Each structure stands twice: as C-alpha cells, then as structure tokens.
Amino acid sequence: MLSVRRQGGVVVEYMGQGVILDPSSTSVEYPVFVSHAHGDHSAAFRFPCTSSHATEETIRLVKALSGRCLQEPKRLTIGGKVRIGDVEVKTLNAGHILGSAQFEVDTPEGIVLYTGDFSLGDSYTMKPAEIVRCDLLIIETTFGSPVFSFPKREQLAIDMVKWATIEVVSKGHIPVFKTDSIGNAQEIITIFNRLTRLPVVTVKGVTKASDVYREYGFNLEYFDSDSDEGVELLESGKCVLIASKGSKLAGENLEIALASGWASIMRGKTSRQFPLSDHADFRGLLGFIKSCKPKKVLTMHGGALTRGFADYVKARLGIDAKPLTIRGETLFRHASMNESRMKACCDQVISTVRIPGFVYVKRWVLSEMAKKGFSYRETEDALSRLIERGIISVEGSEIKLNIEGLK
Ligand SMILES: [Zn+2]
Ligand SMILES: [Zn+2]
C-alpha cells in the first residue's frame, strides 16, 4: 500500500520500497532526496547516508555556504527521473531559490507530490513552481494564513528602491537589507542592479551564495564588504548593503530594513519591513492545491498562525486535508486489515523480533516491517494485537518477544 509519513523527513513508501525527502536524521534506510540548499532542508548532507540526490545547483550552494558536504550526492536535473524499484521520482521546478525542486513520486497506486518550499512566481530570479496533477499532495504551508498576502513583486521592488534612495541615501546613510543569504538576497541584488545605479555591497554569506548564482548565468553585480571596492563604497556611504538575517552590523550611518515574508505581519514594529518572500502566500497555496486536484492534502511547516490551514482547504475546496504526522497516511481511509493480512503482519513481526528476551528498538522494527511491505499503521495494529495476546511486550521504544507468550 502507498503510504506517507513524517519520520526524520518525509517518507513515501510503497510495498517495502520508498524514498525519504529532506531528512533531518537517518531514521529510515531509503534513498534520500534533498529539495534545496536551505539549512532546514539540506541537513542530510551533514550526516553520512548511503544514497543521496539533489540538483547540481543545490550541491554547489551547500558546499559554498557550509564548506562541506559529507557525501557525493547523485545529480538531479529538473524534468529528470530516478527509478527505485516500482517507484519513480521526478524532479520539478519549485520556484523558491536556485536549484530548488519539488518531487513527484509515482507509484502504481498513485502520484505523490512533495512541494518542498515553493513559490508561484512574480519574481526577478525564479520561474514559478510547476503544477502537477497528483493524488496525495504534501505541501509546505509556511505562510498558510489569510494574514499573509504578498504584494506584486514590481510594486515591492519600487517601494524598496524608493526607501533606499529617497529616504536613506539622500540623508548620507546606508540602507541595509537583512534577509536570507540564498534566494531573497539575489532577488534584492537584481532589483537594485536593474532599477538603480546604486552599487550593491554584500556580506560574506551573501557573496558566497551570489557567486554560485553567477556560475549559473545570473547577471548579478555586487562587491563583497571585505573587498577593497566594498570597503571604499561603505566608507563613501553611496551603496546599498545586503546582509544575512543574523549578521551583526555596527555603524551609526546604517539604516536597517528586514526583507522577509514575515515582514507582512511585523510592519512598523521595529526597523523598516518589506514583505519579500520566496514562498507562496495564502491565496497562492489554495490556488495551487485547486490546480493539482489532489484527493488528499497533507500540510507541513508553519506555526501557530497556520494551524487552521487544513480546515480552510476542507471548507473552501472540499478536499480532505490534515497536517502530515508520524502516523502513516494512505490514499484510502484507514480500513482495518483483513484477517489474513493481519496474520501475515503478526507473523512478520515475530520473525523480525525472533530472539526471545532480546530487546529490539521499535523504530528499527517499523523500518524492517516497511521493507517487507507493511505500512507503519499496519505494523502498529499488529503490535497492539501481539501485546494483547502477551506474545510481545513493549517498554517505551523497546520491543521484546516473550517466551511464555509463544507457548
Ligand atoms: Zn527554503
Ligand atoms: Zn523551509
């Protein structure tokens, strides 16, 4: 049966085969696919794993920014396919940052689309995410609340340029944009390169990411803040500075603005705020779901503000929706297993934890069972029955076969 769940990453499983998308730990021994270079998605490159995949641009960005990548991942290309048994993984544009991908996982039972972080266009550096007809849609909902409505990119660009040139540079101050080093930073460089003659200075992380964009043909002009030209420009005050969100900046003549999707709910609080986002906003998310026509929507990412997103999907689009959790989700409503399947599953559990008295870690048992084609939920049901009958005992995360129970 086709099933998806969260377990260290997003696990898509079909009859004991599967893939794990954007894992943050090595919880399942399936081939790994990394959607893009942002740290919360590319953690897999920081631990050893057997088989990993990413686009070349993603690998270059990760290496340029973190300086290391523990593996030599296999290269994916947008539009390309990788076959793993009965499962085929197709790589599609996500429109988020350079090299960002969505993954379409095709199985004999249906199509799963995992968006990763995605954006629906109206940008200076990226093309909008591709829309795919799918059965199960696993969607990133960072900005899945009606409070998030992002302005047209051209209007935002004009606002940013006006603030920098008319309000700040004219006073002899330097406008500073604090933003994501990968994605938004290159968008701001492009805006200032195209709309103004104001030179752009970048701090180290932004420079490194922008150098990779340049390698892939993006026509960006900027000076690193530590280079001779950069130092000179900062002294003259006639430039715009682009820094990562966390960078510590000192200087009386600096005027700081935040450029981020979050700015749309922080307007006017501290420094200047510009709602520049490389994610879909609320209306964008609903429109995307409608076009993909899924049978079920599983949401990920987001905080307190976006908790109600699945309910919006149900109410406005009439599509079954819920947050993706550790529990396995299938295309069908959970029908209890038929008796022969239950018996097969129980027998498989017993042969997996076959040494009486020996302690097995539950997570390992679940992954072994998955390799034999039993979903997480089926194994859980079988474990409950075996516990009831005294055949196994479970303490915390450990499973033990009882010798007495077997008699
Ligand atoms: Zn991202
Ligand atoms: Zn993310």
Q: What is the pLDDT of residues 72-99, one digit of tens each?
A: 899 999 999 999 988 999 999 999 999 9
Q: What is the CATH number of domain 339-406?
A: 1.10.10.10
Domain 2-148+279-330 has CATH 3.20.20.10: no
Give the ligand at the shortest distance from the Cα of 182.
Answer: 1
Residues shown for the chain: 407
Q: How many CB atoms lie within 10 A of CB 394?
A: 15
Is residue 10 within 8 A of residue 20, CB to CB? The reply is yes
Q: Nearest-CA neighbor of 47 among 10, 65, 73?
A: 73
Q: Which fold has domain 153-274?
A: Rossmann fold (3.40.50)
User: CATH 1.10.10.10 spans which residues of the chain?
Assistant: 339-406
Q: How many A from CA of 39 to the centre of ligand 1?
A: 8
Least confident of 34-38, 226-230, 262-266, 369-373: 262-266
Could you tell me where in the chain the CATH 3.40.50 domains are found?
153-274
Pull the structure tokens for residue 143: 């900005």
Per the CB < 8 A criterion, the answer to whether 42 and 54 are in contact is: yes
Over residues 130-151, mean pLDDT: 95
Burial (CB < 10 A; 0-12, 13-18, 19+), residue 400, is middle
Q: Within a 10 A sphere around the Cβ of 153, how many other Cβ atoms?
A: 16
| Separation in Å, CA 131 to CA 82, 137, 153 | 19, 11, 21
Q: What is the pLDDT of residue 356?
A: 85
Rounded mean pLDDT, 254-260: 94
What ranges in 200-281 are assigned the alpha helix state H?
204-215, 228-236
Among 62-76, 124-138, 214-228, which is the least confidently predicted range? Answer: 62-76
What is the CA(16)–ligand 1 centre distance, in A? 30
Can you tell me the distance from the alpha carbon of 272 to that of 62, in angstroms, rounded to the nearest whole number? 30
C-alpha of residue 92 to centroid of ligand 1, in Å: 15
For residues 160 and 188, what is the distance between their CA atoms, to the nearest angstrom? 9
Nearest to 107 by CA among 308, 404, 373, 362: 373
pLDDT category at 270 given cuts 50, 70, 90 is low
Domain with CATH 3.60.15.10 in the chain: 2-148+279-330
Ligand positioned closest to the Cα atom of 143: 2
